[in-house]
Structure 1
Amino acid sequence: MTFPAPLTGVVPPVCTPLTPDREVDVPALLRLVDHLVDGGVHGLFVLGSTSEAAFLTDRQRRVVVEAVAGHVGGRLPVLAGVIDMTTPRVLDRVREVTAAGADAVVATAPFYARTHPAEIARHYRLIAAASPVPVIAYDIPAAVHSKLPADVVLDLAAEGALAGLKDSSGDLAGFREVVVGARTRPDVHGFSVLTGSELFVDAALEIGADGAVPGLANVDPHGYVRLDRLHRAGDRAAARAEQERLCALFGMVRVGDPGRMGGSSSALGAFKAALRLRGVIDCAATAEPQVPLSPREVERVGKFLAEAGLL
């Protein structure tokens, strides 16, 4: 398909359902895709953090992209993460996911070794030169230990090396700088700025963001699509009310006992438990070495769903 410029709306980072023996559950993955498409989303992002891409083998990553791209069949753009430590490894990922049908690639800064902004810019230029599809930058300093500077992102956008940004940095000032620059710089065209937050999509849209990539949209795609639609229709009060309902639902990510599991185990476990409770997937397993939720914690997830009107 032709990649939209800019990409707008709700683009969920798709969870990767697993079988009890931790293989990709392709039938469940395709039901999840149908659940998202039926919810009205505007694109799909596979192999991101919510997809547990860091935990998947190369073979499993290829299975995910081939399955989703083949099932969607061009109805929506499919973005695929090419997240890896260094530029040569990312270039390998680009070849793999584009051969599997991805319409765009999503790349972080390099990690393991700390990188200078000039090295980050070179990284993205090399990816763009090698990629047959648009490149989206992924700003997630909590995972890669480098913040993408706004001026670097905008300069790369002006060069045509980047088609967009998924911002999961939590740096609202930096996010605003990119949004304003994308709107006002005469040399930046068709650049999409997307928030990765579940909690302030309404605020991001208000300052001019093009859309959102919220993990919670796996659980409630209709809610985020409704929020996006209400904001674009100018009904700010209704959009704010919908955002507040989603903020309350997002509380499920904290059901896991921090004394025995990390935040990723709790959040991804909650999303998958919610999808299982909603009948979308069969198994809520997360990839090793993440710790599974207990039955009592899963019960608490169900309460969050009920309070949000989803059970």
Structure 2
Amino acid sequence: MTLTSPTGVIPPVCTPLTPDREVDVPSLLRLVDHLVTGGAHGLFVLGSTSEAAYLTDGQRRLVVESVAAHVAGELPVLAGAIDMTTPRVLDHVASVTAAGADGVVVTAPFYARTHPAEIARHYRGVAAASPVPVIAYDIPVAVHTKLPADVVLELAADGVLAGLKDSSGDLAAFRHIVTGARDRQGLTGFRVLTGSELVVDAALTLGADGAVPGLGNVDPHGYVRLYDLHRSGDLEGARAEQERLCALFGLVTVGDPARMGAGSSAIGAFKAALHLRGVIDCPVTAEPQVPLAQDEVERVGKYLAAAGLL
């Protein structure tokens, strides 16, 4: 992977916290080492899995500074610059790039309703001010806007976007962008990454350049194996590895939906798994997310054992 051409397995790094909800830097750096040892081709900090929406601006900067200094250029570090409007995003771009980020990952504006023309203005404004490549982040479940494929392709053709992280779960739209990028002149450097853990093999078959799987925090080796098997032409092996990872992904469902949301359950399970694997000191999630109960943590352990990770 290079700065301008993100490819391969790029885990969205969890943000370990102390019991009083400060960034646990030693645990964060152990997690980074765990991902590097697992074969990750790059790192994405300050995304949804990183709980970026819950972190203060100071905590966001600390995460980027710590990770960028630790990897010291050995792996590219992408950082989320995620906020409601263009001026606020530009503040984050300035902060994370000063802290060492090699690229920024940016959603559409949110809270205020936006028109496709306004989304395009947003990305053009961010790219014009950013000293590093800009990757669009399509996550409609969080920002309530689906990035239009024609807008993404136009921005890519104009050199505004270096890539797309697609967490929409819409494989048909994903195919549209992959084929559109392949068919257009001058888009050979535009990279399309899937953020959907359960269909990485399918996305790679469609032409994805890589994956940004939250579950990759727990089992980076598995996603790197999947990617390598697919690239080598062993589609049956890649399918088998994907199905193993799909079974492991069941750990995100351990939280009781009567008392917590899906985000609390998933992030809590990722952190519980990392704690059980001895990677991070504390599995606490950011407020106001609801923590897993002890019996739910025990169920996470059963998923890990079934996957051969304990």
TM over 0.5: yes
Instruction: Say yes or no: does 1:282 pair with 2:281.
Output: yes
Which of 168-177 and 293-302 deviates more?
168-177
The match for 2:17 is 18
CA contact (8 A) 1:3 1:103 kept: no
The match for 1:310 is 309
Instruction: Say yes or no: does 1:96 pair with 2:95.
Output: yes
The match for 1:245 is 244
Structure 2: gaps spanning 5 or more residues: none
Amino acid at match of 1:170: G
Counterpart-to-counterpart distance in 1, 2:3 and 2:94: 21
Q: TM-score, normalised by structure 2?
A: 0.99
**Aligned residues between the structures:** 310
**Structure 1 residue 5, shift from structure 2 partner:** 4.0
- Secondary structure, aligned partner of 1:226: helix
CA contact (8 A) 1:45 1:80 kept: yes
Residue-by-residue CA offset, 1:105-133 (whole Å, 9 max, x unaligned): 00000000110000000000000000000
Quickly say closer, same or farther: Cα 1:5–1:91, change in 2 above 3 A.
closer
The match for 2:272 is 273
Amino acid at match of 2:97: T
- Secondary structure, aligned partner of 1:199: helix
**Structure 1 residue 4, shift from structure 2 partner:** 4.0
The match for 1:35 is 34
- Secondary structure, aligned partner of 1:288: coil
Counterpart-to-counterpart distance in 1, 2:218 and 2:142: 23
Amino acid at match of 1:27: P
**RMSD, aligned CA:** 0.8
Identity %, equivalent residues: 79
Counterpart-to-counterpart distance in 1, 2:137 and 2:7: 16
Residue-by-residue CA offset, 1:80-115 (whole Å, 9 max, x unaligned): 000000000000000000000000000000000110
The match for 1:78 is 77
Q: TM-score, normalised by structure 1?
A: 0.99
Counterpart-to-counterpart distance in 2, 1:306 and 1:128: 45
CA contact (8 A) 1:16 1:52 kept: yes
The match for 1:296 is 295
Structure 1: gaps spanning 5 or more residues: none
Counterpart-to-counterpart distance in 2, 1:102 and 1:282: 25
CA contact (8 A) 1:3 1:104 kept: no
Amino acid at match of 1:283: C
Equivalent residues in 2 for 1:8-157, closer than 5 Å: 8-157=7-156
The match for 1:255 is 254
